Structure 1
């Protein structure tokens, strides 16, 4: 997705199914909004705008201080204070984005709300908000604030917060569900570190809502668009390109249907995307970013190739099968071949790790992010493979084909 509303980054979700783990996830990239700053002054400031900006600044300060008495007159902020009581906010601020001078005693504007979680967010996440004001007795007051795109966690109700050794989990899910998510995250972080080293934050911020409808609202997507997906990872809108991804969002209905192993694989997969965010670029092929995440996720689980990739096993056994690296569009939500795309991506990265070693797989991933293509993507990838492994794209594909037939062919 593009445009003003924040969108998803390219992340996976897993569902346990008979015969193995079936992957279902959309590849998307969240658009960046310039690093969040405070209110900006126009060359000619409308008469009303400074008053509204001051009101919003006072509101933000009151919410950060948990000061009910300091909330601006005329707004219902007490419920918001209760909803955010346990949320460790390090920053909360508004920037007016779209405003027209009112003709009467009411006005609606669009603002960007920046919020940052203490110890976990390096940069604020930015959400678009629509705010309505009314002037009574010569004084403006906020009458309504609504999400104009993805919702904030407190829009859904009181936010519970649970800390782990390597994570912070927040949301509206039941305490037992939040605790299980903490356990999975605390296991995932060191497993990811074994492959990707210590060059990332080594911590996870996870949002776990109570319902799939709440999950949809956090993403700002149509209801049910990602039904059946267990989790996605998003990057903070407003953050520089090289900042780590900062949110894992749990789809409670799908996540609850996973076994303990399934939760482990999903969480390690998502944590891998957090760890590799600084090396992931718009030109990074989705087969590579999803393939390394799956390789890391399944590493050490004891699952066989047939259990990990049942769709690929069936395809490889068919006459005339010839593998090809999936296109980015093959990972689109709802694509009929999405399961096979993920399994092909896993198998290609798994081959590199087995044949050349995990360190060279990691180095290859980072090399892909270091410099984008100046020719076609195929020529660029051919050059990367030759530099990293001494074989071009055609030879890599031939060796991959032989490997798949040995592992899955009949």
Structure 2
């Protein structure tokens, strides 16, 4: 019996690690862009004859978003394109190839609810119309996220956007899932990752490169896990174990921790910071804190000023209170 329990714990930890490692790689991709990039013809498979998209939920051929994606993915084979009603009468797209139909079905089914979940936290001040693409091969995935040969095989999804000037709205935003995302993540994992990436899409206009990742990634993870009924220990198993050993974090997660061997634990800590703020204060103040902290690069001194303004705590007091909250969650 103890062997079976150990196997279950190992499998749960592995799934959480793979999810966090996946999201960690997104840090280097969010905000990258340009016009849609095509790999050299020599690197592409030979084009297939065009096939009709699915009749149910078929995306109109005149949709400019579909036309843009088609230029990148049509050389890789026939296309399946689904239209999904999301938020305030908006229309989102889920696009891929027949071989990824299972993943496309899951994402199509989850997209409306995921959009609502993000809007419930962030508000309606975002497009609420997304483009989600499922790649069929590593080369197609790399081309869609503009990563080229540097693309890591560990990445299961990434959100990208065209460059945009401060004060303007980002364009060309899309979420791209890797060809093996469905093999590595079950439907619950795909749903969570979709909500995480949609949060990056929703907040992109208010986010500047170089802003603290504890806020950016913690907020995306908070929205992804919110109201899914999972206990603290399931979302943050590593943090729970450390807290029970009285090895609580001494500071807010540093950017460097979001990659490398401690990435899973760092993501758990970042999620817990935002969960603490929402629980101890409320979600509107969590959103206000995000907008202020994500607006530019920060230092401990500037974070201190923002925390004083929004929550009435110094940075030192904030960390101490967060640690106390952690202890209470892991008793």
CA–CA separation in structure 1 for the residues paired with 2:176 and 2:135: 8
State the match for 2:267 in structure 1.
342
Counterpart secondary structure, 1:165: strand
Structure 1 runs (4+) greater than 6 angstroms displaced: none
Alpha-carbon distance, 1:240 to partner = 4.0
CA–CA separation in structure 2 for the residues paired with 1:211 and 1:17: 27
**Is contact 2:65-2:131 (8 Å) kept?**
no
Alpha-carbon distance, 1:354 to partner = 0.4
Contiguous gaps of at least 5 residues in structure 2 = 1-9, 36-45, 54-58, 87-91
**Is contact 1:326-1:344 (8 Å) kept?**
yes
State the match for 1:289 in structure 2.
216
2:155 aligned with 1:229: yes
State the match for 1:21 in structure 2.
16
CA–CA separation in structure 1 for the residues paired with 2:227 and 2:203: 20
State the match for 2:76 in structure 1.
156
CA–CA separation in structure 2 for the residues paired with 1:208 and 1:402: 42
Counterpart secondary structure, 1:199: coil
Counterpart secondary structure, 2:176: strand
**Is contact 1:21-1:262 (8 Å) kept?**
no
Who wins on radius of gyration, i.e. which is larger? Answer: 1
Relative distance call for 1:306 and 1:393 in structure 2 (3 A) is: same
Counterpart secondary structure, 1:248: strand
**Is contact 1:306-1:313 (8 Å) kept?**
yes
Contiguous gaps of at least 5 residues in structure 1 = 1-15, 37-78, 91-116, 126-150
Counterpart secondary structure, 2:215: helix
Which of 297, 315, 325 aligns to 1:393? It is 315
Relative distance call for 1:17 and 1:162 in structure 2 (3 A) is: farther
Which of 240, 258, 270 aligns to 2:197? It is 270
Alpha-carbon distance, 1:298 to partner = 0.7
Alpha-carbon distance, 1:351 to partner = 0.4
Counterpart secondary structure, 2:94: strand
CA–CA separation in structure 1 for the residues paired with 2:178 and 2:328: 37
Relative distance call for 1:321 and 1:184 in structure 2 (3 A) is: same
Deviation per residue, 1:104-124 (Å, 9 max, x gap): xxxxxxxxxxxxx52689xx7
Greater strand proportion? 1
Relative distance call for 1:175 and 1:32 in structure 2 (3 A) is: closer
Alpha-carbon distance, 1:220 to partner = 4.3
**Is contact 2:100-2:134 (8 Å) kept?**
no
**Is contact 2:48-2:76 (8 Å) kept?**
no
Alpha-carbon distance, 1:359 to partner = 0.8
Greater helix proportion? 2
CA–CA separation in structure 1 for the residues paired with 2:218 and 2:115: 18
Counterpart secondary structure, 1:276: helix
CA–CA separation in structure 2 for the residues paired with 1:354 and 1:120: 40
CA–CA separation in structure 2 for the residues paired with 1:261 and 1:215: 22
Deviation per residue, 1:112-140 (Å, 9 max, x gap): xxxxx52689xx79xxxxxxxxxxxxxxx
State the match for 2:234 in structure 1.
307
Which of 46, 50, 64 aligns to 1:118? It is 64
**Is contact 1:161-1:168 (8 Å) kept?**
yes
Relative distance call for 1:319 and 1:367 in structure 2 (3 A) is: closer
Counterpart secondary structure, 1:163: strand
TM-score, normalised by the number of residues in structure 1: 0.63
**Is contact 1:206-1:247 (8 Å) kept?**
yes
**Is contact 1:120-1:203 (8 Å) kept?**
no
Alpha-carbon distance, 1:89 to partner = 6.9
**Is contact 1:227-1:254 (8 Å) kept?**
no
Counterpart secondary structure, 1:252: coil
Deviation per residue, 1:183-223 (Å, 9 max, x gap): 12122111111111111111210110123453234334466
**Is contact 1:268-1:297 (8 Å) kept?**
yes
Counterpart secondary structure, 1:164: strand
Deviation per residue, 1:22-76 (Å, 9 max, x gap): 422221243465xx7xxxxxxxxxxxxxxxxxxxxxxxxxxxxxxxxxxxxxxxx
Relative distance call for 1:231 and 1:80 in structure 2 (3 A) is: same
CA–CA separation in structure 2 for the residues paired with 1:197 and 1:383: 25
2:305 aligned with 1:379: no
Q: When the two structures are aligned, how many residues end up with a matched partner?
A: 291
TM-score, normalised by the number of residues in structure 2: 0.77
